[in-house]
Chains A and B, each alone.
Chain A
Amino acid sequence: MALDHKSQPAASHGHHSPRLYIIGYISSIVLTAIAFGLALSHTMHFGPLLVVLMILAGLQIIVQLFFFMHVTESDGPPYHSIALVLGLFFTFAVAIMSVWIMSFGSQVS
């Protein structure tokens, strides 16, 4: 044990303010409220509504990543961001393409 870290917690950095967290929380609540409002007021057709809802959900990802999850921080190159982007890309690819492939069922039956 060359260094004893227990003796130096929080020694090298100053006070962090909760400002970012509060902004993040408020934005997530606002985005959620917009989504609920649009969906429940029945002012839009289903197709466009779904697009808007997905965009709002995408914004929520950004809020969580940047305000809560400290996605910009890393030790060395931002490999985790590449993994996340690839992961999101594959996740959406699997979901959307599965629906596309399996939509044959509605044509056949």
Chain B
Amino acid sequence: MLSGIGNFASHFFVTGDPMIYGADASILLVSLGILFVLTRYRKWGWLWQDWLTTVDHKKIGIMYLIAALLMFFRGGVDALLMRTQLAVPNNHFLTAEHYDQIFTTHGTIMILFMAMPLIFALFNIVVPLQIGARDVAFPYLNAVSFWLFFFGAMLFNLSFVIGGSPDAGWVSYPPLSELHFDPGPGENYYLLALQISGIGSIATGINFIATILKMRAPGMKLMQMPLFTWSALSASIVIIFAFPALTIALALLMLDRIVGTHFFTILHGGDPMMFVNLFWVWGHPEVYIVVLPSFGAISEVVATFSRKRIFGYTSMVASLLLISVISYFVWAHHFFTMGAGADVNTFFAIASMMVAIPTGVKVFNWLFTMYRGRIRLELPMYWALALIVGFLMGGATGVMLAIAPADYQYHNSYFLIAHFHQTLIGGVVFGLFAGMYYWWPKMFGFKLNHRLGVWAFWLFNIGFYVCFMPQYALGFMGMQRRMYTYPAGMGWTDLNFISTIGAYLMGLGFLFIVAQIVYSIKFGERDLTGDPWDARTLEWSLPSPAPHYNFAVLPQVTARDMWWELKQQGRTGDLRPTSEDLKPIHMPKNSGRPFIMGVSFFVAGFGFVFNWYPIAVIGLLAVVVTLITRSFEYGDEYHVPVEEIQHTEAALGRLS
């Protein structure tokens, strides 16, 4: 009996590696610590009422941001472990299996559980405020999206200590990821976690399209929307058309593994390349999903800190929309070497290169906006400038990779690794960091410390080039991606060592960001005006942080950069409510159901991971129950009474 339990436990829990035991212990300690603090300070009610059941887009955005930063830490540790393993030849710091798991979780987490929540954080916090709305179109669905993302991410991270992590790469190509070659539960974790959070992403895409199209403040025309909102719209369009392909690719692979179908097997007529095809139908648009909001944030930052309206607004909008459409016709460039023939490769090569045109338009527009502007070097502007340089490098090497014949040389080499890290870090992370610094005061009511931020910026940026520039060369020298170790005498040793130093510099930069946040919570400069950057768009007309109903009276919009126009004309008072203007505000009620739905999906997913179908069925039934009770729910909205609004606005000193 006891030995039976012991045997089960040694398979169920990941054992054998001291690092994992360390992680187990620290997870346990941190969890106990959180439980203790919540109980000791009687915070359970606060947690449930203010956060877990909230449908307020600003709070959901903050939860996305916290989750994204935590996942950035986890993915970053993975990266450092990999770079440590590769620092010197013939290294056995990690075992080969462990290395496989780490590069798989690094990629998956960084794309799906770090970049996606970071863009959703900014969507949620910024878009309704920018367009003068009181919430998103479907606040309840928004909470559902968050909890599906959250529990998807939890399920994925659970694999680290229970059952074992996925190890077939973040793209998880069959036949390697088929049951026959990869029997452990790790691959199931990957499939189910991505499936659950993917449903949430589709819902977010629908939500923000409807919000942006239908919830704008009175008078705001489409061509008067701030560029970040435009970027959110374009990214959401890509989301709703690209994510179904991921859903299908994952579902079919899941069927192969659980039911025994033959979509992607070698036997019985299956075609593994069809998975690759479906995966990239989603996978390539996905990188535009994360990069477009970054472009949008940069457009806001560059205009604000150059004190000029953005150069070429119309061409900016056109290029965003053009990128979102072209992004859909480039996917086969991820498998040029499959040998689909010259016609296919030519089409996708040309389409891929064409993306550089609208992207180039954006870069020039940012430069022209800065030209003769009165530039202030605040933290968001640092990161914006870094993005222009970093993304230029990544973009240019991308055009090199798009040349199909040459790609036969670069394919899956470290050249590719360097390219997509320079676009995804230089293009996405830098832009989203710029956005995070820019909107931080709006979220929390204080600025992040400048000096620590500058340290973080330089460490991260220098580290970024030190880490990835050598990898271009390594790629040309024949080093392939996913190599566990390499012999001495290949001529790769020095460059790999330098690259590892760069990775650690970036890690140090991240620690400075953490230090900066912790320091600024206590000592950061408070934002009492609501407009700390002298900015241009409507969110800055509100106090920081904004009251839960956002706008006491909805603004009338007559111009682009409405807040800036009002400031120029000395009419900022126009947006302040008077007592007579106030009317009851219609708001959605909080609901615990989205959280319960997330838990139910988690239970179902966990059941499927271990093929414990009774548990899976219980989880799915619970999902159905939450759906049906929602369908029968009427009256999920209420009115905020005038007295409460008066009280809140008076306390903020805004009532005239």
Contact = CB atoms under 8 A, between A and B. Distances in A.
Interface of A: 75-77, 79, 83, 86-87, 90, 93-94, 97-98, 100-105, 107-108
B241 A105 contact: no
B241 A87 contact: yes
Interface stretch (B4-12, B334-342, B644-652): B334-342
12 contacts: A83-B240, A86-B237, A93-B328, A94-B245, A94-B281, A98-B274, A98-B277, A98-B278, A98-B281, A101-B332, A104-B341, A105-B271
Given A86-B241, A90-B241, A93-B329, A102 B273 contact: yes
A26 B329 CA distance: 39
B328 A101 contact: no
Interface in B595-621: none
B213 A79 contact: yes
B23 interface: no
Nearest to A91: B241
Interface residues of B, number: 21
Given A79-B214, A86-B241, A101-B344, 17 more contacts: A76-B214, A79-B213, A86-B237, A87-B241, A90-B328, A94-B245, A100-B344, A101-B332, A101-B340, A102-B271, A102-B273, A102-B274, A104-B339, A104-B340, A104-B341, A105-B271, A108-B339
A102 B269 CA distance: 14
A102 B277 contact: yes
A102 B213 CA distance: 37
Contacts of A79: 213-214
A93 to B, nearest CB: 7
Nearest to A79: B213
A93 B329 CA distance: 8
A79 B137 CA distance: 15
Contacts of B338: 104
Contacts of B278: 98
A25 to B, nearest CB: 28
Contacts of A101: 277, 332, 340, 344
A8 B340 CA distance: 62
A101 to B, nearest CB: 5
B282 to A, nearest CB: 10
A100 B278 CA distance: 13
Contacts of A93: 328-329
Contacts of A103: 340
Nearest to B206: A83
Interface string B272-305: 0110011001000000000000000000000000
Nearest to B639: A1
A104 B344 contact: yes
Interface in B358-388: none
Nearest to A99: B277
Contacts of B340: 101-104
Contacts of B237: 86
A95 to B, nearest CB: 10
Contacts of B277: 98, 101-102
Contacts of A105: 271, 273
Interface in B55-104: none
A9 to B, nearest CB: 15
Contacts of B274: 98, 102
A77 to B, nearest CB: 8
Nearest to A80: B213
A98 B340 CA distance: 11
A77 B210 CA distance: 12
A75 to B, nearest CB: 8
A101 B245 CA distance: 16
A104 B573 CA distance: 66
A103 B240 CA distance: 27
A102 B270 CA distance: 12
Interface string B316-346: 0000000000001100100000111100100
B243 to A, nearest CB: 12
